[in-house]
Amino acid sequence: GKISQMSSEVRDDNPYSRLMALKSMGIVKNYEDIRKFSIIIVGMGGIGSVAGEMLTRCGIGKLLLFDYDTVEIANMNRLFFRPEQAGMSKTDAAAQTLAAINPDVQFESFCHNITTNDNFENFMDRIKHGGLNGGPVDLVLSCVDNFAARMAINAACNELQVVWMESGVSEDAMSGHIQWLVPGRLACFRCLPPLVTTSGFDEKKLKRENVCAASLPTTMGVVAGLLVQNALKYLLEFGEVAEYLGYNAFKNFFPTYGLHPNPQCEDSNCVRNQKVFQEYKKSGKADKVLKGWD
Ligand code: ATP
Ligand code: ZN
């Protein structure tokens, strides 16, 4: 067809050439750079597993997967995992499926809780050395469902000055959000009280009555798509990377905000990063300049 005439690198039978068409069309000038990037995904649930599949199909260089849970039949209302994988760790099941989809992607999988002491050390080590060349990973994606895990990711990324993106879906499954966290330039997870992302549903009531949280593959799929779109824009430098983007399914509303860091943040590494960033803005100099600072 039309695409196969555009250039020799763009052929209909090679899935990669359909991605490279983004380059031929001048939309993403450096698309092939995607193979150089390494991403950590924490949480291989309803959002993380779908995000991992999207990145795998986009041709990411390396994925490091963290999750302490196993696949259960109760997860089949989400996308990605299959009934025959029940009982496997989510990380191994995901690596197995994803490696079959794209054998060029490198995988590491860790079936553990990142918040315990030993595992947190390993998590920090993989952030520092999980890149394709043994250097730091390019991005950490948070796809967890609890505050403690988000705080652990925040502490690690503030200490190591690594950019991350956070995601979540509300307990009533009717809204979600993504957030971009650039140490020093944007608010960290401790800078602000957590943003409420519900659609007016009373979460306290839900907890009190011990009702099972709702979940929809639709909302989780939308949020996974927003998250990976933002990750691609950040890594490949096209379009505007969202600082905070919400999704309200009831109202078809996508609020966006800019999030400034809090100079009184309780995380001392965040405060240090803010000072380094301010200094960099004044002098153009810093020991380490983060992609996302300009
Ligand atoms: P639900 O809670 O609705 O039954 P879920 O636990 O699969 O489902 P999701 O929101 O789909 O929740 O996914 C979140 C994922 O993050 C889960 O797979 C969970 O195991 C993982 N996770 C949460 N906290 C941690 C942690 N501290 N370390 C590693 N993985 C975590
Ligand atoms: Zn902070």
In whole angstroms, what is the distance from residue 61 CA to residue 58 CA? 9
The sheet with strand 38-42 has its strands ordered as 106-110, 62-66, 38-42, 139-142, 164-169, 175-181, 244-248, 256-257
Ligand 1, atom 2, lies closest to the CA of 145
In whole angstroms, what is the distance from residue 245 CA to residue 198 CA? 14
- Alpha helices in the chain, H assignment, sequence order: 2-6, 15-24, 48-58, 90-101, 117-129, 147-160, 203-208, 217-236, 268-283
Query: Residue 209 pLDDT more than 70?
Result: no
Under the banding of pLDDT at 50, 70 and 90, the label for residue 8 is very low
Ligand 1 atom closest to residue 90's alpha carbon, by position in its atom list:
18
User: Ligand 1 pocket test: which of 70, 145, 147 has the largest number of ligand atoms within 8 Å of its C-beta?
Assistant: 145
* Pocket of ligand 1 contains residue 73 by CB under 6 Å: no
What is the value of pTM for the model shown? 0.92
In whole angstroms, what is the distance from residue 280 CA to residue 293 CA? 9
Which is more confident, 195 or 179? 179
Under the banding of pLDDT at 50, 70 and 90, the label for residue 37 is very high
Question: Nearest-CA neighbor of 163 among 149, 148, 142?
Answer: 142
Ligand 1, atom 5, lies closest to the CA of 45
* Pocket of ligand 1 contains residue 113 by CB under 6 Å: yes
Kindly state the percentage of the chain with pLDDT values over 90: 82
Residue 166 vs residues 38, 112, 141, 182, 245: alpha-carbon distances, Å: 17, 19, 6, 11, 11
Q: How far is the CA of 266 from the centre of ligand 2 (A)?
A: 7
Task: Give the pLDDT of residue 212.
Answer: 79
Under the banding of pLDDT at 50, 70 and 90, the label for residue 18 is confident
Q: How many CB atoms lie within 10 A of CB 226?
A: 22
Where is mean pLDDT largest: 23-27, 202-206, 216-220? Answer: 216-220
Ligand 1, atom 23, lies closest to the CA of 144
Query: Taking the mean position of all CA atoms in its chain, how far away is CA 112?
Result: 18
In whole angstroms, what is the distance from residue 77 CA to residue 215 CA? 8
List CB contacts of 75: < 8 A, sequence separation 6 or more.
45, 46, 81
Under the banding of pLDDT at 50, 70 and 90, the label for residue 197 is very low
* Pocket of ligand 1 contains residue 190 by CB under 6 Å: no
Which ligand has its closest atom nearest to the C-alpha of 268? 2
In whole angstroms, what is the distance from residue 282 CA to residue 138 CA? 25
Mean pLDDT of the region 241-254: 97
Which ligand has its closest atom nearest to the C-alpha of 183? 2
User: Ligand 1 pocket test: which of 66, 69, 72 has the largest number of ligand atoms within 8 Å of its C-beta?
Assistant: 69
Ligand 1, atom 19, lies closest to the CA of 43
Which ligand has its closest atom nearest to the C-alpha of 72? 1
Mean pLDDT of the region 216-245: 97
Query: Residue 6 pLDDT more than 80?
Result: no
**Residue 212 among the catalytic residues:** yes
In whole angstroms, what is the distance from residue 146 CA to residue 177 CA? 14
| Catalytic member of 111, 212, 265, 270 | 212
In whole angstroms, what is the distance from residue 197 CA to residue 173 CA? 10
In whole angstroms, what is the distance from residue 200 CA to residue 157 CA? 31
Query: Residue 198 pLDDT more than 80?
Result: no
Under the banding of pLDDT at 50, 70 and 90, the label for residue 5 is very low
Which is more confident, 216 or 1? 216
Burial class (CB in 10 A: 0-12, 13-18, 19+), 216: middle
Q: How far is the CA of 44 from the centre of ligand 1 (A)?
A: 7
Burial class (CB in 10 A: 0-12, 13-18, 19+), 277: buried
* Pocket of ligand 1 contains residue 67 by CB under 6 Å: yes
Mean pLDDT of the chain: 91
pLDDT tens per residue across span 97-153 = 999 999 999 999 999 999 999 999 999 999 999 999 999 999 999 999 999 999 999
Task: Give the pLDDT of residue 3.
Answer: 43
Query: Residue 203 pLDDT more than 60?
Result: no
